Amino acid sequence: MDAVAILKEHKKEVDARLAKFLDEKIAQAKEVMEAQGQETSQDAIQTGKELISILKDYNVKGGKRIRPAFVVEAYKGVGGTDLDAAYDASLGIELLQAFFIIHDDIMDQDNLRRGMPTVHYNYKQIGEDRFKLEDGQHFGESMGILGGDFCESFGNEAILDSKFSDKIKIEALRTYHRTLQKTGFGQLIDITGEIKPDIISQAELLTVHRLKTSGYTIEGPMHLGIVLGDGTEQHKAAATSYALPLGQAFQLRDDILGMFGSEEVIGKPANSDLKEGKKTLLIIKALENANPVQREIIFEALGNPHVTKQNHEEVKQVIRETGSLEYSENMARGLAQQGISAIKNSSFNQDAKDWFVGMADYLINREF
């Protein structure tokens, strides 16, 4: 089975539905804002209508649609047959992803996502250009927070508007919000880990990956699909056994790409993780094995907002020389294999199991 080809088919379907859904939201925003009449400034009305259009561009122009694909494949894997309804509901998890990354970009102070300006940075520029603010940072971050909040609300609405029974939709929303909360706790641990002067342990790092990446990238979407398809607790348990290690592997691969990838391919500066002081497994293991000179190279660059290209290249060399890159790649492969073994022994139908296995291979070997 060509899992990537199937993923592309899911992407095509989700892209079309997402664009239609957000076009409706643009029309609603226009109606709401224009109804305010003379009581509201034209600047506010224009900004309100414009925000939803920017959110549409942000959502539609980027993303591989991995999460809604997991929703639909899990739904099919437990015997679900109404693909039209499943695709509509799967938009919820994609919009939840937008909520997470819009807010995450503010927390990380990233200006680029998917090769485009982040929402808050876009509005920073609007604040300075249109409203003549001396520094549009606060305005941009405020609008970014609002934009993320709208996406989270839209995600709820996508599930509520789907054609499933009220009973199933209530349980689907419960799954949606549990995914949101679990990811939030993972982000909390991540943020507190970044401000500590010491390097976090490998175990703590993997806990963050389990709560954040595994939860909202694979486990939450699969559980949502299982709920929509009226699957069993056994299906959920199997999904979790597959999703947790695979999500960790996915994040390890993401961190490797964040260090060694090119901006053109990954859609953000390749040194952004260094600038932000992210204590990835690459950094943790390199410091564990480094000599004093190598440690100094890493600490000079880690968390340095003015890190140079030379700093970055030197850190990459240390990561290679200390065996940290090989260690991270091997761990990602091992974790993915754990997930594959779990899903092969599950009660999902064979087509779904084949796709889940193929996706595991894709996620740890991808180049972006």
pLDDT of residue 262: 83
117: β partners: 112
Query: Could you tell me the CA-to-CA distances from 347 to 93, 212, 237 in Å, in that order?
Result: 24, 26, 11
pLDDT of residue 276: 86
- Sketch the domain layout of the chain as residue ranges: 3-365
Ordered per-residue pLDDT tens for the chain, 368 residues: 799 999 999 999 999 999 999 999 999 998 998 888 777 888 888 888 899 999 999 999 878 999 999 999 999 999 999 999 999 999 999 999 999 999 999 998 999 888 889 999 999 999 999 999 999 999 999 999 999 999 999 999 999 999 999 999 999 999 999 999 999 999 999 898 888 777 889 999 999 999 999 999 999 999 999 999 999 999 999 999 999 999 999 999 999 999 998 877 777 777 888 998 899 999 999 999 999 999 999 999 999 999 999 999 999 999 999 999 999 999 999 999 999 999 999 999 999 999 999 999 999 998 87
204: β partners: none
Q: Which two tokens mark 321?
A: 């020389």
Give Cα 355 distance to the centre of its chain: 21
Residue pair 324/344 in contact by the 8 Å Cβ criterion = no
Evaluated on CA atoms 86, 92, 97, 98, the torsion sign reads positive
pLDDT of residue 272: 87
pLDDT of residue 127: 95
What does residue 334 show for φ and ψ, rounded to 5 degrees?
-65, -45
pTM of the model: 0.94
Pick the CATH number of 3-365 from 1.10.600.10, 1.10.3720.10, 3.30.565.10, 3.75.10.10: 1.10.600.10
* Tens-place pLDDT, residues 103-135: 999 998 999 888 889 999 999 999 999 999 999
Q: What is the largest CA-CA distance in the chain?
A: 68
pLDDT of residue 49: 85
Cα–Cα distance, 211 to 248 (Å, whole number): 9
